[in-house]
Amino acid sequence: MDKIALCGMEDECLSEIEANGTRLDVTATGEHYLFHSNYHTGIIYRLEHIFERRGSRMRMAHLLLEKMREEGINFEEIQTLIGIRCRGLELASELQHFPELEHTRLLFIDRNREGELVFRSGFFLKDNEQVFIFDDLAMTYATFRTAIRLVYTAYPNACIIGFASFIDRSPPTIISPRQFAPAFKYACGLRLPSYIYDPESKDGCPYCKLG
């Protein structure tokens, strides 16, 4: 797919996100938001509204598939897709509808009652099975790091090819996947950088200061 067509897909997905009220902005709502790890931010994306509709999920999955292709990811090497939580699972499931990934298995990891990521009962990986991990949104990549540790702890002989998110919101100050995981492939459908603030830090949160 050429750059013009890819940009058109990006614009279509962004327009759909805006139209569905998925993007919440402090300038419009007057409220800022708590992100995980106690960070504050001025914009969040509620992707459950997009993932409610099959057509929307397919468009988001198609964009991510093309971004994976752009990153040089060999689809034939991938044997199993792993979805993180419900929306990561939905995203990976939609990707299986495309010919490039219809040969794959699909596994699911989710949080237990203690908030820890675990494989759902009955799921397993074979020795040397080549997997790719998916989540709907990334900010600090902490969930991906935890998922990677989980896979290698439970299945030391598994082979993780890489991981991908539909929206990458990581701030410029966050270490990128190419830095902390250079051996893995990484792709994202949309790159929408954010700014996050630690209210306990020296500078604090500017939104909290406004009251």
The pLDDT assigned to 36 comes to 65
Query: Is residue 174 over pLDDT 90?
Result: no
Confidence bin at 75 (pLDDT 50/70/90):
very high
Average pLDDT over residues 54-69: 95
- Residue 136 Cα to chain centre, angstroms: 4
CB atoms < 10 A from the CB of 21, how many?
Answer: 10
Confidence bin at 197 (pLDDT 50/70/90):
confident
Average pLDDT over residues 176-191: 94
CB-based contacts of 201: which residues, under 8 Å, 6+ apart?
none
Q: What is the pTM of this model?
A: 0.91
Query: Is residue 202 over pLDDT 90?
Result: no
- How far is the C-alpha of 75 from the C-alpha of 133, rounded, in Å? 13
Summarised one tens digit per residue, pLDDT across range 35-47 is 766 788 888 888 8
Query: Is residue 211 over pLDDT 80?
Result: no
% of the chain surpassing 90 pLDDT: 60
Query: What's the whole-number average pLDDT of the chain?
Result: 91
The pLDDT assigned to 52 comes to 87
| Selected residue with higher pLDDT from 167 and 21 | 167
- How far is the C-alpha of 23 from the C-alpha of 135, rounded, in Å? 18
Query: Is residue 158 over pLDDT 90?
Result: yes
- How far is the C-alpha of 41 from the C-alpha of 174, rounded, in Å? 14
Structure tokens at 88: 């990561």
Summarised one tens digit per residue, pLDDT across range 110-151 is 988 888 898 877 788 999 999 999 999 998 899 999 999 999
- How far is the C-alpha of 203 from the C-alpha of 201, rounded, in Å? 6
